[in-house]
Structure 1
Amino acid sequence: MIIIGIDPGTNTTGFGVVRYEKNKLMYLSSGIINLPENYSLSQKLERIYDNIVDIIESYHPNECAIEDVFFSKNVKSSLKLGHARGAAMLGALHHDIHISEYSAKEMKMAVVGNGNASKEQVHFMVKKILDIKKEMTFDESDALGIAICHAHRVKSPRASVKSWSAYIKAHPELIKS
């Protein structure tokens, strides 16, 4: 399975592509989509969409994992981030790729084992897990972290159920009358 991880942003969007096979993760690619300050929001969204489509057409991922929106005191920034996420998600949807969303806390827990880990800790662990020697930005390592998080969830789908009642609701066939 090939997974594209996306760390959306309206200044820089990070992406990372990994292969997950036989319980092993392999690094394929990562990078950033720079979005010039002088671009309008519409131009930035178009650039995100076009670049994500190019990456998808190059690597043919089966799954897309994207960082979920976080809440900020600056409502305008949160809305713009939502637009960036939408542009990236649309690229995946237009290629019939399933999309999963993970919070930064979930990603940090999956990669570092601490939901409050720093960007430096995530960066270090992503490079270690994927045996990456090249320099990379925090946006790249966050995107790869999202892909790693998704691979862990695919490996153990029960981990995505947050309570017994949710598990029972998801699996009514297991309940005896």
Structure 2
Amino acid sequence: MRRPSTALGTNGTFASIMTLILGIDPGLGTTGWGVIRYQGNRLSHIANGQIRTNAKAPLPSRLLELDTALAAIVTDYRPDAAAIEEIYVNKNPQTTLKLVQARGGLMLSLARAGLSVGEYAPRLIKKAIVGTGAAEKVQIDAMVQRLLPGVQIAGPDAADALAVAITHAHLAAFEKLR
């Protein structure tokens, strides 16, 4: 596991820790991902995207697609930590089961890479980003763009993944203060 980078302050002390955080919005059909830099109290965008699997492929092949793509992202960006959205129960039990399997595969990929993984409920992410747990997707997207000026978001799942990463950064910083 790569250690967070440090920056020397003007007096020779360590001024702040720079951390790269990979956020994941899990899905079997589309998984959103986003990498942010968190340093001091500043956030900056590194990259984001969406992993799409072939809907006609068998489940094991789709899970392998997710694993392969996520491993490449981890290799390319070398995050210090990861965060993933928890599952909400869908009205369709089959959809929920597929989502659970995709999320499990993604978490295994992150663990295999040696990353610590934060898990956050959708309502907590919405509250951390927008201020209300009942926020709509458009509100999350707008706030992510405000928190990461100039970001070009690859799609709604990527916006959600960036929100997961931002939530992790804010809550991890809060935990350090306690």
Give your verdict on TM over 0.5: yes
C-alpha spacing 1:36/1:140, structure 2 compared with 1 (3 Å): same
- Structure 1 gap segments, 5+ residues each: 161-177
Q: What TM-score comes out, normalization by structure 2 length?
A: 0.86
Cα displacement string for residues 91-124 of structure 1 (whole angstroms, at most 9, x for unaligned residues) = 1111110011101111111111111000000001
Give the match for residue 38 of structure 2.
Answer: 20
User: Number of residue pairs matched?
Assistant: 160
- Tell me which of 123, 137, 154 is aligned to 1:136: 154
**Conserved 8 A contact 1:127-1:133:** yes
Aligned twin of 1:123: 141
**Do residues 150 (structure 1) and 168 (structure 2) align?**
yes
| Distance (whole Å) between structure 1 residues aligned to residue 142 and residue 91 of structure 2 | 29
Please give the alpha-carbon distance, in whole angstroms, between the structure 1 residues aligned to 2:62 and 2:81. Answer: 24
CA separation in 2, counterparts of 1:144 and 1:116? 18
Q: Which residue, out of 54, 71, 76, partners 2:89?
A: 71
The C-alpha deviation readout for 1:129-167, integer Å capped at 9, x for no partner, is 01134253110000000000000111101899xxxxxxx
Distance 1:37 1:57, change over 3 A: same
What percentage of aligned pairs have identical amino acids?
36
Whether the 8 Å contact between 2:49 and 2:153 is mirrored in structure 1 is no
Q: What secondary structure sits across from 2:142 in the alignment?
A: helix
In structure 1, distance between residues paired with 2:150 and 2:43 = 12
Q: Secondary structure of the residue that 2:48 maps to in structure 1?
A: strand
Comparing both structures, which one devotes a greater share of its residues to helix?
1
Residue 166 of structure 1 is matched in structure 2 by: none
Runs (5+) with no aligned partner, structure 2: 1-18
Structure 2: which amino acid aligns with 1:76?
Q
Q: Deviation string for 1:53-109 (max 9, x for gaps)?
A: 111011111111000010122111111101111111111111110011101111111
Shift of 1:37: 1.4
Q: Distance in 2 between matches of 1:102 and 1:46?
A: 24
- Give 1:28 deviation, angstroms: 0.3
Residue 82 (structure 1) aligned to one of 89, 100, 103: 100
TM-score, normalised by the number of residues in structure 1: 0.86
Matched, 1:102 2:133: no
| Paired letter, 1:46 | L
> Aligned-pair RMSD on alpha carbons?
1.6
Output the amino acid matched with 1:4.
L
